[in-house]
Amino acid sequence: MWKPTSLAEMDAAAPMKFYLCTQPTDLRKGFDALAELARQVHGRSGAEAAPGLSAIVDVFSGGWFIFLNRRRDRMKILYWDKDGFALWYKRLEAGTFCLPRPVSAAGINVRASELAMILEGVDLRNLQRVPRLARRGRAVDGVPV
C-alpha cells in the first residue's frame, strides 16, 4: 500500500541544502555572477553568518542557491552538478513567489518542503497547524499522549 511522505521525511530525504537569497536579484546575471552573489550572501563564516545560515557555505557543495527578481515572478536556481554549474529558471505568467517568512537577513536556509510549496504557489506565511485527532498511546509531534 502506498504511504504518502510526510514533510519531515521529504526534508530528511533531500541530500542537498537550499539557500534563498531574500534580496531582489537582477536575473540577467549568468552562472559566474550568481555564484559570486551566492558566495557574498551565503558564504560568510562564523560570527558574520546571517541568522539561520550554516557557518560556511561553499557554492561547490551541491547546495541549491535560489534567487528571485524584484517583482518575485521569476526565479533562478543555481547549483553545482559534479562537473559544472547548472541553472534552472522559472517565469510565472501570473502571480508571485512568496517568501517563507518575513526576513531581515540577505539570505536564509529553506527546507525542501518549503521550496516545493513556494514553487507550487503556497503562501507559507499564512500556514498554521490545526488540532488533529491522535489515538491514545501514540506520540503527537514527539509528545506522548
Q: How many domains does the chain have?
A: 1
pLDDT confidence tier of residue 4, bands split at 50, 70 and 90: low
pLDDT digits (tens, 9 = 90+) for 76-92: 999 998 889 999 999 99
**Within a domain: residue 131?**
no
Q: Which residues contact 142 (CB under 8 A, 6 or more apart)?
A: none
Interval 70-78 mean pLDDT: 95
pLDDT confidence tier of residue 139, bands split at 50, 70 and 90: low
Which residue in 55, 59, 56 sits closest to 79, CA to CA? 59
pLDDT value at residue 141: 54
**Within a domain: residue 65?**
yes
What angle is formed at CA 101 by the lines to CA 121 and CA 71, rounded to 5 degrees?
A: 55
pLDDT value at residue 48: 43
**Within a domain: residue 145?**
no
pLDDT value at residue 58: 80
**Within a domain: residue 5?**
no
Mean confidence (pLDDT) of the chain: 80
pLDDT digits (tens, 9 = 90+) for 91-135: 999 999 988 877 777 888 899 989 998 999 888 887 766 676 767
**Within a domain: residue 103?**
yes
Interval 29-57 mean pLDDT: 69
Pairing of strands 85-91, 18-21: unpaired
Instruction: Tell me what percent of the residues of the chain surpass a pLDDT of 90.
Output: 39
pLDDT value at residue 9: 81
pLDDT value at residue 26: 96
The neighbour count for residue 19, using CB atoms within 10 Å, is 26
- Quote the domain boundaries for residue 30: 14-123
**Within a domain: residue 130?**
no
**Within a domain: residue 135?**
no
Cell representation of residue 123: 503562501
Q: How long, in residues, is the chain?
A: 145
Interval 47-72 mean pLDDT: 73
**Within a domain: residue 45?**
yes
